[in-house]
Structure 1
Amino acid sequence: MIDVNLDLYLLNPFSNAVVLLPSLRTDYSSDGSFEYVLKAVLSAKPTDPNCIIALLCETDDYHMVYYCRPGDARWTLIKTSLEFVTDAVFFNENLYVVNSYAERVAAIDLHKGREMTMAVGPDGFLDWSDNFRYLVAGPSGPLLVVRHLKNLWETRGFELFRLDGTLKKWVETKSLDEGLLFLGRNTSFWLSSSNLKECKGNSIYFMDKYRDLGIFYLEDGSFGSICGLDEKLLCYSYEWVVPVP
C-alpha cells in the first residue's frame, strides 16, 4: 500500500496485519520525478527475517528497481543494466528482472550486489511490439511468458519459456508441469492443478487492466472464459489473491 505522501506498508487484508516499510519521500520528493509504483515482489513471507521486498517504480525517464528488508531506514537502488524494467520475480534468492522489450532477462544476487545476465531466447523471442512479458516462479525455475496483443489490449495468444540452467538459455515449452499460471499486472503465480480440481491443468488464467480476461489452453492454443467475471464490467483491473497453503 502507498499513500499520497509516498509512505509505504504491507497490509494483510484478511488479518489487517501491517508491516511498515521505508518511505519513498527520501528518494523522490526533492526532484518530483516519481510517477507511480508498478509492482512489488517479496522473496519470502514478511515475517521471515530474510525477507526482501523489491519495488518497481516509474519515473520521468526510467523504470527503477529498489529493495529493502522490513526494518530498513530507506530503499536501496538496484544497479542493473536493464532500462524500463516491467516485471520481476524472486527464485532461489535471486531477483529476476525483464525489461519492456525482453532484450534479455537479468538475475541479480542482492546479497552480493552482482548482476548475472541471462542468455536471450530463440528467434522470435524478442520484438519491439506492444506485447507484454511476465516473470513467474515455476516449480523448477523462473518462467517467462510473452503475451501477444492486438489492438493494444486484446490477447491473441501466449508463448511460454523456461530457463535451462545447463544451457544458459530460454527454451520454449508447452508444459506447465501439471500446473496453472495466474497472470496479472500486479500479481502472477504458478499453482499445482492438483490443488484446484475445478481448473484444467496446463492453462493460463489472465486478467488485465485493459478490459481483457480469460483462460488460454497451452495444449491447443484455444481460449475459454472465466466464470463469474463479466468482461463488460471491467472498469478497473481485477487482481489475483494468492491463496494460503
Structure 2
Amino acid sequence: MSESCLLLPPTMNQSTVWCWSNLPNELLDLISQNLTNYVDYVRLRAVCPTWRSNLPKKPNHLVTQLPWLLLPHYDNNTICETHCSFFNLADNKTYRLELPEVLGDGMICWGSPHGWLVIMKQEGPLLSLLNPLTREEIQLPSLFFFPETSLREDLAGVVIPWDSIGYLGKSKIVKALLFGNPCESDYVVIVIMTGGPCSLAFFQVGAVAWTLFMDTYKMCFLDVVFFKGQFYAVDYAAHVYICHLGASPTVVKVADPAETYVDAEPETKYLVESVNELLLVYRYEVHNWATISDSTYYFTVHKLQLSESRWSLVDDLKEQVLFLGRNCSFSLSAGSYPCCRGNSVYYTDEHRDPIDIPSLFKVSCNCLRGYDLGVFSLYDGDVERPPSYPLPSPCSIKCIVPPPVWVTLAP
C-alpha cells in the first residue's frame, strides 16, 4: 500500500485496515494542536505523505522551543566526522544529525535562538549561515574584503583586499552573532574581532560587503544584544555601549560597569534581553593550571536603569532562564517548560582560543577545552553539571570540537 496503514484487531471475524491518510483534516489539526514539542510535530508529519502535505512545515501554534545543545557525536570516544549530537532539554534525549559542515579542523560555529548557526572556516575567514535541520546554507561575503571608505579618501567605495593592508590581516574573529531569522525577515550578523583596525563589524542582508565600526579601534568587546530597537555591546571592562549601524557606524557609551562580586573579577560578561529589561551578567571562573582550563563557579545578574545609567543587582529571575555561551545570549520563561529550571543560568564553555583548536589535536598535553558547561541557580548559588549531557570522557578526548553551543531548531 502506498500510504501507511493500521491493521485493527479482528472484529466479527474480519480484519479492518485503516489508512492514516483518510483521517479527517479536522482531527489531524486537533492532534497537532496538542503537541508542544517540535520533535513530536516532526514525527507526526512523517507518518505518511498526506499528513506531511496537510500539516505546515513550520507549526504556528508551538511556543518558542527550548534550545538544543549542539556538540560533536562520539562513538567509543572517537569523534564522528559526519554527524553531530543534539541534546534536547525538552525530552532529555540526544539526537544524531548529519552535519559535516561544522566539523573538521579550522571550523568554528556559534549558536542562535533563530534556528540557524553562524559557521566560519578560519582560512579566509569565510562565514556562512547554516540551518542544521535543512542544511540550507547562506554564504556571507568574505571578511577579507571591505568597501574602503575610511582609511583613504581616494578609495571611497572601492573594494580592496583586507590583507593588502598589513594590520587588517591580523584581525581575529572571536564571536559571530546572528540577529533575526534569515527565512522570515531581515537579519544582521555582527562579528567581534581583536587585533585589527576595529573590534566590531556588521553585515546586513542586501549589502555586498561588511561594514566596520572604525571608532572601536583598541576596544575589546565580549557580547552584543538587540534590545528595544537598538544594538548594545559590552566590553571587557564591562562598559556598555549603544551601537549605531549605518554607512559610518559608531558606538556611544551609555553605562559604566556594575559592581563585581566580592573581590573577584568576572572573566566574561554578557548582555541579555529578558522581560523587556537589559541585563548584564558576570561570569566568574577559576583557572586550573594543570589542565589549562577554566571552571565556572558563580554568576551575578544586573539590571540596567537606563534613565539613570546605573545597574541594580538582580537576585531573583523568577521564572526566567538565561542561556549563555558561544551564542546570542537570550532568555525564556520556564513556566512553559516543566523540564527547565527558572531563576537559573544555562551556560556552555566559552572556548576562548579558537585559533589554537586544531593544534590541540596534534599536541599530547593535559589541556581541556569544552567541558565547562552546566546550570547555575541564582536561588542557592549552586552549579550543577547535568549527567545527561552527552559528553565524552576527558581521559579520551581533551578538546571538544566544535565546542557545545545553544541553538534553537526551526525548519
Shared fold (TM-score greater than 0.5)?
Answer: yes
Conserved? CA contact 2:285–2:297, under 8 Å = yes
The reply on whether 1:107 has 2:260 as its aligned counterpart is no
Match of 1:67 in 2: 202
Bigger mean CA offset, 198-207 vs 115-124: 115-124
Q: 1:49 to 1:190 in 2, by over 3 A?
A: closer
Q: 1:79 to 1:125 in 2, by over 3 A?
A: farther
Match of 1:191 in 2: 332
Bigger mean CA offset, 197-206 vs 184-193: 184-193
Out of 380, 385, 395, the position equivalent to 1:225 is 385
The reply on whether 1:215 has 2:375 as its aligned counterpart is yes
Match of 2:273 in 1: 137
Computing the radius of gyration over CA atoms, which structure comes out larger, 1 or 2? 2
Match of 1:164 in 2: 305
CA distance in 2, matches of 1:219, 1:163: 21
CA distance in 2, matches of 1:244, 1:177: 27
Out of 24, 29, 36, the position equivalent to 2:163 is 29
Bigger mean CA offset, 197-206 vs 165-174: 165-174
The reply on whether 1:2 has 2:120 as its aligned counterpart is yes
Q: 1:2 to 1:213 in 2, by over 3 A?
A: closer
CA distance in 1, matches of 2:392, 2:174: 23
Matched residue SS, 2:335? helix
The reply on whether 1:13 has 2:132 as its aligned counterpart is yes
Matched residue SS, 1:212? coil
Deviations 1:125-154 (A, max 9, x none): 798946111122222132211011112611
Return the letter of the residue paired with 1:19.
I
Matched residue SS, 1:39? strand
CA distance in 2, matches of 1:101, 1:127: 15
Match of 1:43 in 2: 179
Structure in which a larger fraction of residues adopt helix: 2
Conserved? CA contact 2:197–2:214, under 8 Å = no
Deviations 1:18-44 (A, max 9, x none): 223221111533236345322222332
Q: 1:131 to 1:2 in 2, by over 3 A?
A: closer
Out of 175, 192, 196, the position equivalent to 2:316 is 175
In angstroms, what is the RMSD of aligned CA positions?
A: 2.8
CA distance in 1, matches of 2:375, 2:193: 29
Conserved? CA contact 2:174–2:194, under 8 Å = yes
Unaligned regions of 5+ residues in structure 2, if any?
A: 1-118, 147-161, 289-293, 352-368
Match of 1:89 in 2: 225
Unaligned regions of 5+ residues in structure 1, if any?
A: none
CA distance in 1, matches of 2:392, 2:319: 27
The reply on whether 1:239 has 2:239 as its aligned counterpart is no
Bigger mean CA offset, 79-88 vs 206-215: 79-88
Conserved? CA contact 1:177–1:202, under 8 Å = yes
Higher relative contact order (CA 8 A, sep 6+): 2
